[in-house]
Amino acid sequence: MRQIVFMKHLSVFETTTEDVESEIYDDKMERLFNELKTVFGKYDIKLSHYEAALFPMDKLSMCRCEECSQLMINRDVNPTKFGGSDHFEDSDSLCLDGGTHDGRELCEECLPINHRWGHFS
Ligand SMILES: [Zn+2]
């Protein structure tokens, strides 16, 4: 019986507006995809496509948690996160909620449990 596996890979990297506008970003992504196709091909896996979405970090109050470096959105500053639109299916698992505590921007895992956006401490 034939079977098929759909495999999903999630990754995050930071770039700049200058790299996007000068096509350095596009070139980098194309080279990465071609290299990944070669690596996957060694294992008889066909890498069919990739999907990427750019987010304006400052506009969304997106930053790295000052405790653990996890990517987060400061929901104290931006309570709507992505404004209700589904920009990217898996963005919630890549970018945690977070907030400000004692002047530090912390993700939901590092915020104290009594903070509005603290869920795990
Ligand atoms: Zn954290």
Same domain for 16 and 71, yes or no, is no
Total domains in the fold of the chain? 2
Same domain for 18 and 73, yes or no, is no
Q: Which domain holds residue 86?
A: 55-121
Phi, psi of 2 (to 5 degrees): -75, 145
Ligand 1 ion: nearby residues, β-carbon < 5 Å:
65, 67-68, 70, 107, 110
pLDDT above 70 (res 8):
yes
Contact 54, 87 (CB under 8 A): no
In whole angstroms, give the CA distance from residue 116 to residue 99. Answer: 8
Final residue before a domain boundary, out of 13, 36, 52: 52
Same domain for 59 and 118, yes or no, is yes
Q: Minimum mean pLDDT among 38-42, 59-63, 80-84: which range?
A: 80-84
Q: What's the predicted TM-score (pTM) here?
A: 0.78
Same domain for 64 and 82, yes or no, is yes
Q: What is the pLDDT of residue 100?
A: 97
Q: Angle at CA 53, nearest 5°, toward 14 and 57?
A: 45
pLDDT above 90 (res 114):
yes
Q: What is the pLDDT of residue 116?
A: 92
> Which residues make Cβ contacts (< 8 Å) with residue 51, sequence separation at least 6?
88
Same domain for 96 and 74, yes or no, is yes
In whole angstroms, give the CA distance from residue 52 to residue 73. Answer: 18
In the reported structure, the alpha carbon of residue 59 is separated from the centroid of ligand 1 by a whole-number distance in angstroms of 20
In the reported structure, the alpha carbon of residue 58 is separated from the centroid of ligand 1 by a whole-number distance in angstroms of 18
In whole angstroms, give the CA distance from residue 118 to residue 58. Answer: 22
Q: Which residue has the higher pLDDT, 39 or 52?
A: 39
**CA distance between the termini of the chain:** 47
Contact 73, 56 (CB under 8 A): no
Q: What is the pLDDT of residue 86?
A: 63
pLDDT above 80 (res 87):
no
Same domain for 88 and 121, yes or no, is yes
Same domain for 66 and 28, yes or no, is no
Residue range 7-30: mean pLDDT, rounded: 90
Same domain for 35 and 83, yes or no, is no
Same domain for 48 and 59, yes or no, is no
Same domain for 66 and 91, yes or no, is yes
* pLDDT band, very low/low/confident/very high, at 85 (cuts 50, 70, 90): low
